[in-house]
Amino acid sequence: MTLSFRSELNSAEQVVSSLSTTKQPNVTEAEMMQAVRTLLLGLGEDPDREGLKDTPKRVVKALQFLTKGYDESLDELLNGAVFTEDANEMVLVRDIDIFSSCEHHILPILGRAHVAYIPNGKVIGLSKIARICEMYARRLQVQERLTLQIADALQGLLKPQGVAVVVEASHMCMVMRGVQKPGSWTVTSAMRGVFSEDARTREEFMNLIRHNGNFH
């Protein structure tokens, strides 16, 4: 497991700015489809045969959906769902399904995220935690960065006493190609505030998300 500890950023604006990753749409869909057609030719295929005729269009649409997180922002996603609340106990949403794409091979990353925070006068709608995970996952990613982005977004937006994020995932670039190791999975974590400072709080979180190794 990779443990990450980071000092708190000064404002939500700094957090949003530090995590900003915007898509630069400087090509047309037609150019993207032509690129897919070129790839098919390079693979020795006939892009004009029946089964592949609409494949360039389908591939472009699929990639646009799988990377739709570039077109989303934290402000739009939250839609005001941050509330004042006198709560100071751990809030945990576990087993959030994650579907992302490896930026090195554009192959799937499949897994789940466990996210907890301890409020400091503000709480967030529970579904928004899953949506934050989804937004950052639907980009070209490495698991380490994805884990940090989720943690830093919540820490910056809520200024809670602490945030903990663990992401467990299987990378198809390791399973389908390369070392070809089915069943391998990677665990990364990011701890902020009391989760990094207090071993007992961190242990409580880890106990709550514990399961057997064969989680797939």
Q: Which residues are catalytic?
A: 102-105, 143, 171, 173
- Within 10 Å of residue 138's Cβ, how many Cβ atoms? 20
Q: Phi, psi (5° rounding) for residue 68? A: -70, -15
As separate numbers, helices (DSSP H) first and strands (DSSP E) second, the chain gives 9, 8
**If we measure between CA atoms, which residue out of 134, 124, 53 comes closest to residue 100?**
134
C-alpha to C-alpha distance for 53 and 63, rounded to whole angstroms = 17
Per DSSP, helices labelled H in the chain are 12-18, 29-42, 55-66, 74-78, 126-137, 143-158, 172-175, 194-197, 199-209
What's the start-to-end Cα distance of the chain, in Å? 17
Q: Can you say whether the dihedral through the CA atoms of 163, 164, 168, 173 is positive or negative?
A: positive
CA angle 104, 136, 92 (to 5 degrees): 125
